[in-house]
Amino acid sequence: MAVADMIGEIVYVNGAFVHKDDAKISVFDHNFNYGDGVFEGLQAVSGGVFKLRQHIDRLYQSARFLAIQIPMTIDKFMVDVLETARRNRLRDGYMRPVVSRGVGPVGVRNMDELGPPTVVIIAQHEKIEDRRSAFESGVSAHVASVRRIPPECIDPRVKSCNYINNILAYMEAKHAGAHTAIMLDMQGYVSEGYGNNLFAVKNGVLLTPPIGNILAGITRETVIELAGALELKTVERPMTVYDFVNADEVFESASMAELTPIVEIDGRKVGDGKVGQSTRRLHLELRTLMESGRESSRISNR
């Protein structure tokens, strides 16, 4: 799909639905100048937004931590997300709600002069076919030298718009010829990917780094629930690169990435270098849940 065809025509900006060419944010917005805001990534599947409530709850929790007062209720925000999707005739794709601290004079010292928070919701058309090759063949990963920001600096459960260390890790991976990045914490344990959570399978057990130095991913939580239903034991524990390199299977999870198999880490094959059976089973169960609509909020076609 061409990039121009992916971007939704209608954008929600501060209570109004406007054409994308008219969707403007001030250069004095605190998010533009400082990355001072929060966001979520939502997936639309078969005419429904998957786990919308959980994502918007997390958005509000992140905003509360940063002392940003979102100027509407959670229920109203959910309605606006679904209306943005409806106006874009979104059936499969991506939703990006963003909330910044607001507009005002430049300078952290002038934060008391900022106006009300800026709220934007963007829609983007994407289909599973656009990612199918990654699901079926797997991707390569590079262990980045860029470390995950530790909880001593900011709690990793906050999904903030300050994404520079994730971006640097991704750029490093691309320069190394890999598709994705594996990030370590300050102690050298594996934390997460540049924008996803990480899992390994070893001897029939699902392993994943614990909450503490990672984002509490909603897809991550769903994977653990699905593993339980499949009687696949899950263990959350500190893990090093050694654990991932010597695993039978490795995959990353995220809202749009779903479950993407990692078949190579810094030139070393994971297992037999092919997508593993447990990864396939879990991804099939995840897709089945998404497409069923049981945990999705429907996009109205009125």
Give 93-118 pLDDT, tens digit per residue.
Answer: 999 999 999 999 999 999 999 999 99
Q: How many C-alpha atoms does 149 have within 13 Å on its Cβ side?
A: 18
Q: What angle do CA 213, 140, 51 make, to 5 degrees?
A: 50
How far CA 91 is from CA of 85, 130, 219, 298, in Å, comes to 8, 14, 19, 10
Give 36-46 pLDDT, tens digit per residue.
Answer: 999 999 999 99
Q: Active-site positions?
A: 159
Helix (H, G, I), strand (E, B) or coil at 56: helix
Q: Per CATH, is 3-130 categorized as 3.30.70.100?
A: no
**Domain ranges for the chain:** 3-130, 132-291
Give 270-280 pLDDT, tens digit per residue.
Answer: 999 999 999 99
Per DSSP bridges, beta strands 268-269 and 197-202 are unpaired
Give 167-205 pLDDT, tens digit per residue.
Answer: 999 999 999 999 999 999 999 999 999 999 999 999 999
Q: Is the pLDDT of residue 4 over 70?
A: no
Q: How far is CA 131 from the centre of its chain?
A: 15
Q: For helices 52-65 and 74-87, what crossing angle results, to 10°? A: 120
Superfamily of domain 132-291: D-amino Acid Aminotransferase, subunit A, domain 2 (3.20.10.10)
CB atoms within 10 A of CB 67: 8
pTM: 0.95
